[in-house]
Amino acid sequence: MSEVLILGAGPAGAAVALGLRHLGHAVSVVSDWRRFAAVEGVSQRVLDGLRHAGLSHALACAAPPSQRQVDWNGARTAQNVEFLIDRPLFDQGLREDLRRAGVEVLEDRVLDVASNQQGHRVRLESGRSLSAAFLVEARGRQAPLHLKGHAGKARRGPETLSLLNRWQGAPGVLASAVESLPDGWAWMARLADGRCYWQLTLDVASSDLPAKERLLDYCRQRRGQSALAGAFFGAQGETELALHARSSTAILSLEACGDNWIRVGDAAMAVDPLSGNGIFQSLSSALQAPAVINTLLRAPQRAELAKRFHQRRVEQLFLRFARVGRDFYGEERQWPQRPFWQARRAWPDAEPSHAAADFAALRIERAPVLRDGLVDEAEVVISADQPLGIWHLQGLELAPWLRRLRSEPERQVLADLPAAQRRVFQGWLLAQGYRPQGQAAQD
């Protein structure tokens, strides 16, 4: 029996595997190869997340930064850059990172999972059967919700479908672009070797799509109607044209962790692809998971604390990314009454994606934190923009100093801090809307 079995070797599964290896756990991974070729555009912070997770070979697969055109709300800009990732090559890099860390990777397809309080049994397409004490579900957006013999619950955004076209064109300049359309939006990319990608994202409920065998012709027609796509890809021929349809509905698992299992990455929460944060949010939910799993295995008396930590973290990440996507949808005002835009500019709620600073509203509470590879509890500072709380600020435990500032003269509190930490603390206070006493007196 394996101690920990991870289903899926994407960025989330790989990050969890490496984190568990560093904590001394025996880990095995089961993953089938991706069944379609794709390319993704990511930001610099995704590359930073891969580096932080120790996924150096996957990181090396990112192409150099390229210009991204944006045609949104009737305006065209080309101010941003993104890094294009060839997913088959990236997946190979992830497996190489796992291999070098001593993680066993079984290339197989999971048929079913039977789970109980004693452990898990996984049946594979090859006929092999595996057992494990702890299971990590990291198979992405399409991972089954049910586990432990009952159906899981999820919060879903507006049902969304993406149609990915890929073909071979002539070599050209590395680039990407995105444009809004009356019934959705399209993202396109061109690699230097001439591989081309165009993805159309639509609303499931309001789209009148043809039969499956006519989808390629439908997509070709839609591309032909786009001036941006015509200029982006040019008049080159299309060979090896293929299509892959997939759900891109935002989905949040309302039960992301149990006593002997956990969901990470897109299996825990998957955001709308418009946010461009898919890999980043996968890593964000996965980097904390090794400490959660370590706690469940080695400090079971803290199990409820660990599960609460993971669930709250997943939910807050989901809402933050969902609200960012909502705001971007809200910037498109050309077709306000069209079903696609109507459904998305008000979801998931009306809360701001970034709350205004309010020093008076800061409060100190006990909450779950990560300490020495385990989930522990400590005093944190809660703000509107950080509802899970801040424990340390570049090595400075924040709550005790905030408490002192509220009961002692500011000069005395700051004098007790080393110079470097004093500057950090003062900068954070000002960002929270704090007005130094001297400035208040001058006013």
> pLDDT per residue over 391-425, tens digit each?
999 999 999 999 999 999 999 999 999 999 999 99
- Angstrom distance (rounded) from CA 116 to CA 166: 42
User: Does residue 429 carry a pLDDT above 80?
Assistant: yes
pLDDT digits (tens, 9 = 90+) for 291-337: 999 999 999 999 999 999 999 999 999 999 999 999 999 999 999 99
- The verdict on residue 350 lying in a domain is no
Q: What is the pTM of this model?
A: 0.92
Which pLDDT belongs to residue 441?
39
Which pLDDT belongs to residue 355?
87
Which pLDDT belongs to residue 443?
39
378 and 423, same domain (yes or no):
yes
13 and 47, same domain (yes or no):
yes
- The verdict on residue 75 lying in a domain is no
Alpha helices in 225-373 (DSSP H): 227-233, 278-287, 289-298, 303-330, 339-344
319 and 283, same domain (yes or no):
yes
Query: Of 206, 227, 247, which marks where a domain is finished?
Result: 247
pLDDT digits (tens, 9 = 90+) for 259-296: 999 999 999 999 888 766 678 888 888 999 999 999 99
Q: What's the CATH number where 214 sits?
A: 3.30.9.100
SS3 351: coil
pLDDT digits (tens, 9 = 90+) for 112-165: 999 999 999 999 999 999 999 999 999 998 888 765 444 568 999 999 999 999
- Per the document, the length of the chain is 443
- The verdict on residue 353 lying in a domain is no
- Angstrom distance (rounded) from CA 6 to CA 27: 7
242 and 300, same domain (yes or no):
no
Number of domains comprising the chain? 3
Q: Residues 6 or more apart from 2 whose CB is under 8 A from it? A: 26, 27, 28, 130, 131, 132, 133
269 and 388, same domain (yes or no):
no
In contact, 324 and 385? CB cutoff 8 Å = no
142 and 283, same domain (yes or no):
yes
Which pLDDT belongs to residue 335?
96
Mean pLDDT taken over the chain:
92
167 and 150, same domain (yes or no):
no
- Angstrom distance (rounded) from CA 220 to CA 218: 5
pLDDT digits (tens, 9 = 90+) for 21-75: 999 999 999 999 887 888 999 889 899 999 999 999 999 999 999 989 999 999 9
- The verdict on residue 351 lying in a domain is no
- The verdict on residue 370 lying in a domain is yes
Strand order in the sheet with 154-156: 154-156, 251-253, 269-270
363 and 430, same domain (yes or no):
yes
- The verdict on residue 72 lying in a domain is no
119 and 259, same domain (yes or no):
yes
292 and 382, same domain (yes or no):
no
212 and 304, same domain (yes or no):
no
Alpha carbon distances (Å) from 284 to 160, 183, 344: 23, 31, 24
SS3 443: coil
Which pLDDT belongs to residue 277?
66
For residues 340-365, average pLDDT: 94
194 and 107, same domain (yes or no):
no
In contact, 165 and 198? CB cutoff 8 Å = yes
Structural domain boundaries enclosing 181: 160-247
